[in-house]
Amino acid sequence: MAHKIDFELASSAAIAAELGRRLNELRLAQDLTQQQLAERAGVSRRTIVKAANDGSISLDSFIRIMQALGLTGHLAALLPDPAVRPLEQVKLGRRRRRASGTGGAGDDAPARWQWADDTTGEDS
């Protein structure tokens, strides 16, 4: 059964629980017991249970479980690469080291960052 969660509106606890549920479903899809996954990930079985129940595990444990499930390719999608775009780097002449603190309020401020596949152009 597919669960729908609005990641923009959900609490951090609800998002953690959803991620834990998804990890559990991926574990089952690979026909792994909780103990087998725990051994592969180098975590306790209790950590696997906590992840499946409410997602309340450390970031280190989450990464270890992702690695054990062969899902490390998806980790890069969690956060966008914050590097300045090449054209902005040429314009600036150097790499940014700190924010200006203006919050992009000026007329010549760069457009709000968005995912490449977000074609709506709307701010959330």
What does the pLDDT look like over 58-83, one tens digit per residue? 999 999 999 999 999 888 888 777 77
Does residue 114 lie in a domain region? no
Other C-beta atoms within 10 Å of 60: how many? 10
Does residue 124 lie in a domain region? no
Model confidence, pTM: 0.64
> How many domains does one find in the chain?
1
Does residue 82 lie in a domain region? yes
What CATH number is attached to the domain comprising 80? 1.10.260.40
Does residue 13 lie in a domain region? yes
Does residue 111 lie in a domain region? no
Does residue 6 lie in a domain region? yes
Q: How far apart are CA 45 and CA 109, in angstroms?
A: 49
pLDDT at 92 over 70: no
The mean per-residue pLDDT over the stretch 87-92 comes to 66
Does residue 112 lie in a domain region? no
Domain that residue 85 falls in: 1-100
CA dihedral 60, 62, 64, 67 (to 10 degrees): -140
Other C-beta atoms within 10 Å of 62: how many? 21
